[in-house]
Amino acid sequence: MVGSAVKRKLEAEGFNNLVCRNSSELDLRNQQAVQSFFEKEQPDVVIDAAARVGGIMANNEYPWQFLYENLEIQNNIIAAAHQQEVDKLIFLGSSCIYPKHADQPMNEEALLTGSLEPTNQWYAIAKIAGVKMVDALRRQYDRNYVSLMPTNLYGPNDNFDLETSHVLPAMIRKFHEARINGHTPVPLWGTGSPMREFLHVDDVADAVFFALNHEMEHDLYNVGTGKDITIKDLALLIQDITGHEGDINWDTSKPDGTPRKLMDVSRMREAGWTYNIELEEGIRATYEWFKDHYDEIKEVKVKD
């Protein structure tokens, strides 16, 4: 999702010398394969949008993969970029790097000041390591590398698999399928009380483009809207957009996750960047994309 959005943005801005690989073409977990790729292509700029991602269920089910595979991916990319003296690198992470009970909104200084949310600690620890690798290379070798930490992302090419997806795409699929099956009840996890911030993937692509074209003073920047919504209100919004008229059943035996994850985006705003796409507009556009690709989506099963 993120890589394709960044590619669209760069192409729209007139860049045509792009070197892209998907996971079937280049296994980023393979150190030798990554080193050989960098030696052959000699990139000037690297945007690391690769990761194993998923929601609460996926993080709970596959803690080893979320920790180890993400460490492998980013270690190989960042080390190869450094060894090949790549001019600029953008490392993309996640707001889950911050402590579960960090002061809200969370600023960049909150990193490593408290314990993580247990349900996604594996992914968070990997991403924290990536942030610190970027910081170390800036400090020791004066590398022009920067970490961008987006809030919860959504948009075209999202993962809509109900076992591994994040909350917003999962809701889109659940409400859509419940509607076409006669407005059946929609089961959702938790109480609906946690608050989450969401950013359209085209906005994070715009933030990446901004960082590529500006000297970034700091090593770490939050990227988000600075506004959040309860999971319950998100469900009601998506229910309205999809036209579902049935009940919503909240399973309070399931975990809520972190109570609130609102980003302090003042550092990025002061650098000169802000978001453009409001949540309802973005969800409506994403739902249209989902419907256009539904036949393909329902045939795809994300493998372990």
Is 256 a known ligand-binding residue?
yes
Question: How far is C-alpha 59 from the geometric centre of its chain's CA atoms?
Answer: 14
Is 286 a known ligand-binding residue?
no
Nearest CA among 195, 234, 192 for reference residue 104:
195
Whether omega for the bond prior to residue 105 falls within 30 degrees of 0, making it cis, is yes
Q: Go through 40-77 and write b for each residue having 16 or more CB atoms within 10 A of its CB, e for each that does not.
A: eeebebbbbbbbbbbbbbbbeebbebbbebbbbbbbbb
Instruction: Work out the burial of residue 270: count CB atoms within 10 Å of its CB; fewer than 13 is exposed, 13-18 middle, 19 or more buried.
Output: exposed
Is 101 a known ligand-binding residue?
no
Is 71 a known ligand-binding residue?
no
Other beta carbons less than 10 A from residue 26's beta carbon: 15
Is 150 a known ligand-binding residue?
yes
Is 236 a known ligand-binding residue?
no
Other beta carbons less than 10 A from residue 137's beta carbon: 19
d(CA 111, CA 113): 6
| Active-site choice (62, 68, 98, 123) | 123
Is 92 a known ligand-binding residue?
yes
Is 151 a known ligand-binding residue?
yes
Is 88 a known ligand-binding residue?
no
Asked if 123 is an active-site residue, the reply is yes
Is 127 a known ligand-binding residue?
yes
Binding residues for substrate: 174, 189, 196, 256
Which residues are catalytically annotated? 123
Annotated binding site: 92-95, 127, 150-153, 166, 174, 189, 196, 256
Binding-site annotation: residue ranges for NADP(+)? 92-95, 127, 150-153, 166
